[in-house]
Amino acid sequence: MKKYFLYGILIVLVLCICRYAESDTRGRKRPAVWIVDFNGPVSPGMATYVIRGIEKAANSGAEAVIIRLDTPGGLGSSMRRIVKTILNAPIPVVVYVAPEGAGAASAGVMITVAAHIAAMAPGTNIGAAHPVTAGGKDLNRTMSKKVVNDMVSYARGIAEKKGRNGAWVEKAIRESVSITAGQALKKHVIDLIAQDMDTLLEKIDGKKVRLITGTVTLRTKGAVRIHYGPDLRYRILKVISDPNISYILMMIGLAGMYFELAHPGAIFPGVVGGICLILAFYSFQTLPVNYAGVLLILLGIIFLVAEIMITSYGVLAIGGLTSIILGSLMLFDSIRVSVQVIIPVVVLTGGFFMTVAWLAYRAHRKRPMGGLEGLVGEQVEVKKWQGHKGMVFVHGEYWKAVSEDTLASGQTAEVIGGKGLVLRIRKHENEKEDG
């Protein structure tokens, strides 16, 4: 009995030890680090993707989020959204320019210097941040001075707040200079160089980072890595957030809705037009849309439709095309739809409406082919006649007819009008001469 009692105590002790070990393991849960791959231009779609990655990492209680960066630059507005999110992130954000051969150019410079920890892989570069237009062309002198000064003050303020070389950042913007990872470390543009992700996690382990909520110490050695990839929504947004694609979608949508309204029941144009318009407006929320441009394009379409219905001798058509061209050029602020896209779209749209207007005018002037109006001037054969009324045969049909002339069966007459289902006829000229 005593032996069984000792066995029972031993089992209880083992269970308690296992339970304690389990609770201790849970209490010392391995930290998680989210990795967001930033590979491509800085665009509205990319900004949304990166911001969502940071937000989800923070909500999951991650130790840090690492943005693996390789970008040629992009839109300043999208860059500012990303920088603002990094500066106000509740968890440390590490920007890691990698892999070898990658670069952080233009807007990528500001994203890198805004990070809580900035790192680069060997064989990478950073710099060339002078502002240009969306098409890659230099700004005009006056505008360039304004934009450069604004960008310098913005970037330098961020760099100095993070304890980085603000003077070099200014030089990168004003003179488009670019440096290697080793030079960036010597000039205090970045904090460290890491060969790979394992090395990066080891080097940043134990570093103290100042957040808006206070100072935290990173625990990243041996951390669980969670890769955050782009979802279907981002892939779609990345494609349609291109201003050229958005513009084409809007024009296709407007054309499709016009077809559906002009020919109710066609269905297909309405379905395609509706989908394209919704996608266009969805992309507009990520682009700097100038709604004066949208209104000008809509006004231009209205003018072209009115040209079909009203004979303006081309005035409405010219006004419509001018309005569409101006609206296309003004559609987005700070970026422009490519002229190579605008010209074909305007030519096709204008050509279509002008062709329809010409066909409508031609049909209006053309003699009617059906009904009473279509029978005026036609020759009829008198089948039965009594007094001033009878039955005539024309176009394979029998019609009631009246006439002031005296007619007889077998004679030929000419239609001069009608009312309801009764034709007014008169004796044919040849019949008169014979008479």
Q: Which of 34-48, 201-215, 368-382 has the highest mean pLDDT?
A: 201-215
| Arithmetic mean of pLDDT, 146-174 | 90
Asked if the structure places residue 236 within a domain, the reply is no
Residue 388 and residue 308 share a domain: no
In whole angstroms, give the CA distance from residue 92 to residue 112.
Answer: 13
Banded model confidence at residue 181, pLDDT cuts 50, 70, 90: very high
Q: Which of 69, 53, 66 is nearest to 121 (CA)?
A: 69
**CATH number where 56 lies:** 3.90.226.10
Asked if the structure places residue 19 within a domain, the reply is no
**CATH number where 424 lies:** 2.40.50.140
Residue 172 and residue 100 share a domain: yes
| Arithmetic mean of pLDDT, 196-208 | 94
**What is the Cα Rg of the chain in Å?**
39
How much is the pLDDT for 365?
66
Residue 397 and residue 356 share a domain: no
Query: 348 versus 15: which is more confidently predicted?
Result: 348
Residue 389 and residue 353 share a domain: no
Residue 219 and residue 256 share a domain: no
In whole angstroms, give the CA distance from residue 85 to residue 51.
Answer: 7
For the cut 80, the answer to whether the pLDDT of residue 104 exceeds it is yes
Residue 252 and residue 106 share a domain: no
Among the candidates 230, 256, 283, a domain finishes at 230
Banded model confidence at residue 27, pLDDT cuts 50, 70, 90: very low
For the cut 60, the answer to whether the pLDDT of residue 21 exceeds it is no
How much is the pLDDT for 73?
87
The mean-pLDDT minimum among 31-35, 353-357, 412-416 falls in 353-357
Asked if the structure places residue 116 within a domain, the reply is yes
Interhelix angle 291-309/315-330, nearest 10 degrees: 160
Asked if the structure places residue 89 within a domain, the reply is yes
365 token code pair: 């002037």
Among the candidates 347, 364, 381, a domain finishes at 364
For the cut 70, the answer to whether the pLDDT of residue 221 exceeds it is yes
Query: 376 versus 295: which is more confidently predicted?
Result: 295
Residue 349 and residue 397 share a domain: no
Residue-wise pLDDT tens digits, 58-84: 999 999 999 999 999 888 888 999 999
Asked if the structure places residue 10 within a domain, the reply is no
Residue 55 and residue 183 share a domain: yes
Strands (E), 303-388: 379-386
Confirm if 247 and 337 have CB atoms less than 8 A apart.
yes
In whole angstroms, give the CA distance from residue 289 to residue 38.
Answer: 25
Residue 286 and residue 212 share a domain: no
Contacts (Cβ under 8 Å, ≥6 apart) of 203: 119, 192, 194
In whole angstroms, give the CA distance from residue 287 to residue 252.
Answer: 19
In whole angstroms, give the CA distance from residue 139 to residue 76.
Answer: 14
Instruction: Calculate the dihedral angle through the C-alpha atoms of 253, 258, 263, 266, rounding to the nearest 10 degrees.
Output: 0
Interhelix angle 141-161/166-175, nearest 10 degrees: 160
Residue 190 and residue 86 share a domain: yes
Asked if the structure places residue 394 within a domain, the reply is yes
Q: What is the mean pLDDT of the chain?
A: 83
Among the candidates 230, 258, 275, a domain finishes at 230
Contacts (Cβ under 8 Å, ≥6 apart) of 315: none
Share of the chain above pLDDT 70, in %: 84
Asked if the structure places residue 185 within a domain, the reply is yes
Residue 283 and residue 212 share a domain: no
Query: 35 versus 19: which is more confidently predicted?
Result: 35
The total domain count for the chain is: 3
Asked if the structure places residue 322 within a domain, the reply is yes
| Arithmetic mean of pLDDT, 175-183 | 93
Confirm if 251 and 345 have CB atoms less than 8 A apart.
yes
**The domain containing residue 383 runs over which residues?**
371-434
181 token code pair: 């990872």
Residue 172 and residue 256 share a domain: no
For the cut 60, the answer to whether the pLDDT of residue 432 exceeds it is no
The mean-pLDDT minimum among 51-55, 132-136, 155-159, 252-256 falls in 132-136
Banded model confidence at residue 305, pLDDT cuts 50, 70, 90: confident
For the cut 50, the answer to whether the pLDDT of residue 9 exceeds it is yes
